[in-house]
Amino acid sequence: MRSKIVAGNWKMNKSLEEAKALTSEIMAMVADEVKGDTKIVLCTPFPYLLSTKNQLGTNSRIEVGAQNCSEHDSGAYTGETSASMIKSIGIPYVIIGHSERRQYFGEDGKLLAKKVDKVLASELTPIFCCGEPLEIREAGTHEALVKKQVEESLFHLTAKAVQKVVIAYEPVWAIGTGKTATSQQAQDMHAVIRTYLAERYGKEVAENISILYGGSVKPDNAREIFSCPDVDGGLVGGASLKSRDFVDIIKGA
Ligand code: PGA
């Protein structure tokens, strides 16, 4: 179902005490300041998922997400965490295929298709990331690459299943660099993705899918980017580690 979503990706940051403090600051500011129905997600490191969820309590409008999961169900995979484990602790979202996982952990489209399947099989929502590196943008083949990423990992899904996926377009050259895509660049790529989904699944299905923008989203650029017709919110890295910035970004959605 298409909705506005702002998700914070904490990556590998914060101690437990710091995570608790950040969560309580965000909770208080959201309760005081955030109107509307934007969904808010905190994607914390694995050790803090459950404590963050418990801290938020059942009444909070803020939800929790994991940053990765295994492509396997269970068994001898030391160090891995399955989608069903994440489900069993009541965490509804899982980021899949972040560019850092593609780049540093060699995750490719085929593997990510399996991870998406596991997340959906556990009735969780995958936040599936795609996006081109700088050299691809400069070569002008960015649209083809992003379409390929979407096709490889999502186009095996049924129309019913694909509507449960949230897509995050994150140009790699904008992640953690302070260099944001312009709102026009974001809108153009989001429209490319939505049109491609429409070609595969029909317009109605494509219109139902949330497509988030990620890459140096900050309080001073969030409102403009989020106001683009095909941008349904953001996946926020660095700025999600500061409560004031993150809540200001949510207010821009
Ligand atoms: P950034 O990260 O906001 O720090 O650029 C975004 C992301 O990696 O999801």
**Comparing C-alpha atoms, which of 57, 51, 41, 43 is closest to residue 16?**
51
Residue from 99, 104, 177, 235 whose mutation best tests the ligand 1 pocket (most atoms within 8 A of CB) = 235
Tokens 């009541």 -> residue: 90
Helices within the chain (DSSP H only): 16-33, 49-56, 83-88, 99-104, 109-121, 134-139, 142-154, 159-162, 183-201, 203-207, 219-226, 243-251
Q: How confident is the model at residue 179, as a pLDDT?
A: 83
Q: How confident is the model at residue 58, as a pLDDT?
A: 86
**Pairing of the two strands 62-66 and 39-43:** parallel
| CA 170 / ligand 1 centre spacing (Å) | 8
DSSP 8-state class, residue 247? H
pTM: 0.97
Q: How confident is the model at residue 220, as a pLDDT?
A: 96
| CA 12 / ligand 1 centre spacing (Å) | 12
Q: Supply the Cα-derived Rg of the chain in whole angstroms.
A: 17
Q: How confident is the model at residue 142, as a pLDDT?
A: 98
Give the position, in ligand 1's atom list, of the atom nearest the Cα of 218.
Answer: 3
Q: Mean pLDDT by 10-residue block, N- to C-terminus, for the chain (253 residues)?
A: 95 98 97 95 98 92 97 98 98 98 97 98 98 96 98 98 98 89 96 98 98 96 97 98 98 93
Q: How confident is the model at residue 60, as a pLDDT?
A: 84
Give the position, in ligand 1's atom list, of the atom nearest the Cα of 214.
Answer: 6
**Pairing of the two strands 5-9 and 166-169:** unpaired
Give the position, in ligand 1's atom list, of the atom nearest the Cα of 100.
Answer: 8
Q: Domains of the chain by range and CATH?
A: 5-251 (3.20.20.70)
Considering only CA atoms, which residue is closest to atom 1 of ligand 1? Answer: 237
Q: How confident is the model at residue 178, as a pLDDT?
A: 81
Tokens 């489900």 -> residue: 87
What is the spatial distance between Cα 236 and Cα 239, in angstroms, rounded to a whole number?
6
Considering only CA atoms, which residue is closest to atom 7 of ligand 1? Answer: 237
Length of the chain: 253
| CA 19 / ligand 1 centre spacing (Å) | 18
List active site positions. Answer: 98, 170
Look at residue 236 and give its three-state secondary structure: strand
